[in-house]
Structure 1
Amino acid sequence: MSPTPTPQQQRSRETRRSLLDAALTILTREGLRGTSVSAVAAEAGVSRGAAQHHFPTRDALIEATVTQFYADLTQQLRTAVAQLPPGPGGAPVSDVVTLVVESFSSGSFRAALHVWSAAAGPEGELRDLIVAADTRFAREVYQLLAITLDADLTDRHTRRLLRTTIDLARGLGLGAVLVDNTEHRVTTTATWTAILDAGITRNG
């Protein structure tokens, strides 16, 4: 068992988490250009010195924020998937696809997209970070899809459909940044659910 943290260690963890939450808020609201250690410290209600103790540079802060964001998103998806009612051949496909689509369309996902934009720029700022983090998340979603739907991964077409599900969800999430595409997401999700349900091969 891990030792119980001291009050000082607990406060340090809470301060660090407050800074990461504040950084995510500012990234979502103002983008990468508006995110600085001092702005995040003010948003979190802590001193600049305390913020710099945890994150000496903006890049360190952004890297930790993106890493924590994807970790939280993964955990949220795992928890939501675990709560789906089991059924013959896996959980209901419509429920699974909806969860995946909404995980890419959440409001806080916009923060990651701001970092994507910077990574795609001519200087390639943070490119390695965002590519690695997004790849890990996509792999996690793929595995959750396979397990939850009881998909037969020896079938090439099934693997392709699962990967396409992730691409579709990511595309709908990108669209949600510019306009409210809720109605379109719902109809597209329903259409793809029917295709996925009919096309995948299940174990057994």
Structure 2
Amino acid sequence: MTPARTPPSTPPRTALRDPKQDRSRATRRRLLEAAVACLAEHGWTRSTVAVVAERAGVSRGAAQHHFPTREDLFTAAVEHVATERSAAVRALLSQERPARAADVVEVLVDLYTGPLFRAALQLWVVASYEEQLGARVAALETRIGRETHRMAVELLGADESVPGVRESVQGFLDMARGLGLANLLTDDRARRDRVVAQWARILDGALRAPN
């Protein structure tokens, strides 16, 4: 009697990987990172889809497959990097010991003095007169702004029910944005470091003030 054959086991669905999907995700990521770099370095006018595709090492057709329009590409690029930066900042929340105000101020100021802010600023300028892009950028910046404020409150352990605390946190974020604008023209790191240190002291005092 011939023993019954056991059918080959099927790998769990979660273990199966589609190489085509992996390549697609990798291509999309390269395009997003290249778009931010181009926008920060060259501005909106010279950052065409063709230029971004060349920098990413993909064809223009592949770029347009992922992002049918230029507006799709650049708004997605800024959102992508903002999400990654937010994840890096949120990593501070997982620390066992609360972050010092000085560390929080330094990390959040970095959000406004790097390539992401340069790229976002280029989008803001164009969005101010390009109606098609304006609504997208406004919605994106509103969401990023709320997320950044929420992270700042969590990282600082701020109690916004205390009068003046919310305004202190928002004032700090406005200051950080201003430092980012100043950094576009010149990298005056020594002056920036002094300003950041002073704001850390201001925030520390505001958060420790009695109710």
Aligned residues: 199
Are 1:169 and 2:176 an aligned pair? yes
Q: Counterpart of 1:116 in structure 2: which amino acid?
A: W
- Which of 21, 24, 34 matches 2:46? 34
Q: Distance in 2 between matches of 1:203 and 1:151?
A: 13
SS in 2 for 1:192: helix
Give the deviation of 1:128 after TM superposition: 2.2
Superposition pairs of residues 145-160 of structure 1, within 5 angstroms: 145-160=152-167
Give the deviation of 1:98 after TM superposition: 0.9
Q: Distance in 2 between matches of 1:53 and 1:42?
A: 15
For the aligned residue pairs, the C-alpha RMSD in angstroms reads: 2.3
Unaligned runs of 5+ in 2: 1-11
- Which of 87, 111, 121 matches 1:113? 121
Unaligned runs of 5+ in 1: none
Per-residue CA deviations over 1:81-122 (Å, capped at 9, x if unaligned) read 236662xxx4211111111111111133211111111123x3
Give the deviation of 1:50 after TM superposition: 1.2
For residue 19 of structure 1, what is the aligned residue in structure 2? 31
1:151·1:202 contact (CA, 8 Å) conserved in 2? no
Calculate percent identity across the aligned residue pairs: 37
For residue 82 of structure 1, what is the aligned residue in structure 2? 93
Per-residue CA deviations over 1:127-160 (Å, capped at 9, x if unaligned) read 2222222222222222222222221121131111
Decide which moves more: 67-76 or 21-30.
Answer: 67-76
Give the deviation of 1:73 after TM superposition: 2.1
1:78·1:144 contact (CA, 8 Å) conserved in 2? yes
TM-score, normalised with respect to structure 1: 0.88
Q: Distance in 2 between matches of 1:171 and 1:118?
A: 19
Decide which moves more: 94-103 or 127-136.
Answer: 127-136
For residue 181 of structure 1, what is the aligned residue in structure 2? 188
- In 2 relative to 1, CA 51–112 (structure 1 residues): closer, same or farther, beyond 3 Å? same
Q: Counterpart of 1:8 in structure 2: which amino acid?
A: K
Q: Counterpart of 1:181 in structure 2: which amino acid?
A: D
For residue 101 of structure 1, what is the aligned residue in structure 2? 109
Are 1:138 and 2:150 an aligned pair? no
1:97·1:193 contact (CA, 8 Å) conserved in 2? yes
TM-score, normalised with respect to structure 2: 0.85
Q: Distance in 2 between matches of 1:102 and 1:65?
A: 18
Are 1:65 and 2:77 an aligned pair? yes
SS in 2 for 1:91: coil
Are 1:128 and 2:139 an aligned pair? no
- In 2 relative to 1, CA 2–15 (structure 1 residues): closer, same or farther, beyond 3 Å? farther
